[in-house]
Structure formats: structure tokens, C-alpha cells
Amino acid sequence: MNGRFTDLCALKNCNAIVTGGSRGIGRAAALSLASLGANVVITSSQSDLEAKEVAKEIEALGVKSATFLCDVSEPSSVRDMFYQVKRQWGSIDILVNNAGIAEVTRAEDMTLEQWKRVIDVNLTGTFLCCQAAGREMIEQGKGGSIINVGSICASIAVKPDHHCHYDAAKGGVVMLTKTLAAEWAKHNIRVNVVSPGYVKTKMTESEQHRPIWSELTALGRMGEPEEIGSMIAFLATKHAGFMTGSNIVIDGGYTTIK
Ligand code: NAP
């Protein structure tokens, strides 16, 4: 591999899709990818106006951008989005499966609908997008990079929250990542997962919980979306060419021990 470590054209002419790119970690990942030269499609299920603002920021970096409304838990919506991107942009080189939802409910009070919704968006949605991207990348025959967004909740039951559906979905995302990495290595499709600790986004806007999450984090603060987005972009580059099936934890030293 040639090139400096800080090659600002590392992703030139690559086309990336970031699900849930309208805000938070997805927005930061999209801007990091664009700053390395990638063209970036932003998807969201409702917040198209926010997504369009992100698209403008991306275009200001000198690359292409587009937005699509797509509910990742709906197979027809995912199929349609991938079809449109392929038709308009010609190829798909990078997928960031970032779209996700969280809610706090004790297991004993959780309805089946609540369980299914969180599993459908966070786990099934990740699978559906991986499958659609994997099919394209296999057909294109030039490899690709898929980065899934997991969570520390995949491996530890965090305090003070209760969300067993979210934790189970994120645990599934880690194992889905490892299995797809093994299946698609022969096509040079790398599949990795980034597992953040607590990051300042709309998902974690609870003013009541933020001090507790900060205290449980060794660095004494929550993460910034950009501190996750930059790792996602790194994983898409050739600098991470020997990484697949990896689970990268970025949690500021989160611990449940006090
Ligand atoms: P966020 O600010 O709430 O952003 C979530 C994004 O996902 C939005 O763009 C949202 O847009 C989109 N989305 C939600 N449901 C969707 C659906 N059904 N189909 C398509 N898009 C959908 O949350 P965030 O904190 O940036 O989270 C991003 C990812 O990081 C999630 O997977 C989350 O689980 C993970 N994560 C976050 C933290 C944290 O501390 N923030 C920690 C660990 C992991 P619409 O609302 O318009 O659909």
C-alpha cells in the first residue's frame, strides 16, 4: 500500500452510504468520510430537512452528496434506496450502518411491540442493509467496506439504564459483523463494528443521566460524535486493509466499577 497515513484523498471516487446520517454519530461519520474524499449518501427515516443540511456541509467539502428517506427496518424501503443509489451513482463502495433507536423500559414492563421495534431497526435493519450492500459489492467485484455501529451495551449491562431489547440487538450486531466478515472475506469485503460508549447526541440528551454517564466514564466526560466518526472513516480506508471482523470499542474507559 502506498501513501501517507494522513492521505486526505484516501477515499477519492468512493461512494458511501451512511444510514441515519441526518444527525449525531451518523452525521459525524458522513463528514469524516467526505473529508477523505468520499461521495456520501445520507439516509434517515423522517428527518430529511436535517439530512439535506448535512448534504450541504458535505458538498462544501468538494464531493457529491444526496439524501434519501429510508426506514431500515422495511425491506422494500431498503431495496428501493439501494436501487436508486446504484442507478444514480453507479457503485457502492462503503456502507455505514448507523441508524438506530433506543428507549428505556424495564424487562418486566416491556411489550412485544417495543421489543420488536428495537430489534427490527437496530438488528434487522443492519442485516438488510449489509445484505443489499454485500450483494452489490460482490457483483461489482472490487471489494468494499462495511462499518456497523454497535455499542458497549453489546457486552456490558450498563447502569442506570434498562433496555434489554437494545442490548440484545447490539450484541447481535457484533456477531452479525464477525460472521459476515468471515463469509465475505473472499470477496475482499471487510466488515467491522465500532462500539461507542456514551456520546453526546439526541439519543442521550437526558440532562438527568448525562452526569451519571460522565462519572462512569474514566475520562470523566461523554464522547463527541466526531470521536466516533473519525474511526468509522478510518475503517473505510486502505489503512485498515487488514482489519475485518473487529469490534472497536471507543468508550473513554467506561466502567461499571466505582
Ligand atoms: P441519534 O442522534 O438519535 O441519530 C439516529 C439516526 O438514526 C437519525 O439520523 C435517525 O433519523 C436515524 N434513524 C432512526 N430510526 C431509523 C430508521 N428506522 N430507519 C432509518 N434511520 C433511522 O442517535 P446517535 O446517538 O447518533 O446514534 C447513532 C448510532 O450510534 C445508533 O445505532 C446508536 O445505537 C449508536 N450508539 C449511540 C451511542 C450514544 O451514546 N449516542 C452509544 C452507543 C451506540 P430519523 O429519526 O429521521 O429516522
Residue 98 lies in a domain: yes
Grid cell of 117 as nine digits: 421495534
CATH of the domain at 217: 3.40.50.720
The CA distance from 195 to 131, in Å, is: 21
The CA distance from 207 to 188, in Å, is: 44
Tell which atom from ligand 1 comes closest to the C-alpha of 120: 18
| 234, β-bridge pairs | none
For ligand 1, say whether the CB of 121 is within 6 Å of any of its atoms: yes
Residue 8 lies in a domain: no
Residue 4 lies in a domain: no
What confidence score (pLDDT) does residue 6 get?
Answer: 67
In this structure, the dihedral spanned by the alpha carbons of residues 102, 52, 31 and 210, taken in order and rounded to 10 degrees, is -30
Hey, how many other C-beta atoms are within 10 angstroms of the C-beta on 139? 10
Residue 9 lies in a domain: no
What confidence score (pLDDT) does residue 207 get?
Answer: 86
For ligand 1, say whether the CB of 19 is within 6 Å of any of its atoms: yes
Tell me which residue range forms the domain holding 109: 15-256
Determine how β-strand 39-44 pairs with β-strand 144-149: unpaired
67's CB contacts (< 8 A; 6+ apart) are 22, 41, 42, 43, 44, 48, 51, 52, 54, 55
Residue 165 lies in a domain: yes
Grid cell of 250 as nine digits: 471507543
For ligand 1, say whether the CB of 212 is within 6 Å of any of its atoms: no
Q: Tell me which residue has its CA closest to atom 8 in ligand 1.
A: 20
Question: Ligand 1 centroid vs 193 CA: distance in angstroms?
Answer: 15
| 220, β-bridge pairs | none
For ligand 1, say whether the CB of 196 is within 6 Å of any of its atoms: yes
Question: Ligand 1 centroid vs 217 CA: distance in angstroms?
Answer: 21
The CA distance from 179 to 46, in Å, is: 31
| 191, β-bridge pairs | 146
Question: Ligand 1 centroid vs 122 CA: distance in angstroms?
Answer: 9
Residue 2 lies in a domain: no
Q: DSSP assignment of 4-43, as one string?
A: -TT-TTTTTT-EEEEETTTSHHHHHHHHHHHHTT-EEEEE
Per residue, the 3-state secondary structure of 194-234, as one string, reads EEECCECCHHHCCCCCHHHHHHHECCCCCECHHHHHHHHHH
Question: Are the beta carbons of 101 and 124 closer than 8 angstroms?
Answer: no
Residues of the chain with pLDDT under 70: 1-6, 159-160, 257-258
What confidence score (pLDDT) does residue 2 get?
Answer: 58
What confidence score (pLDDT) does residue 82 get?
Answer: 98
The CA distance from 14 to 140, in Å, is: 13
How many Cα atoms within 13 Å fall on the side-chain side of residue 237? Answer: 26
Hey, which of 27, 67, 101 would you mutate to test ligand 1's pocket, going by the most ligand atoms within 8 Å of its Cβ? 101
Among residues 224, 225, 226, 213, the alpha carbon closest in space to that of 254 is found at 213
Query: How many domains are contained in the chain?
Result: 1
- Name the residue type at position 102: A
Q: State the catalytic residues.
A: 166
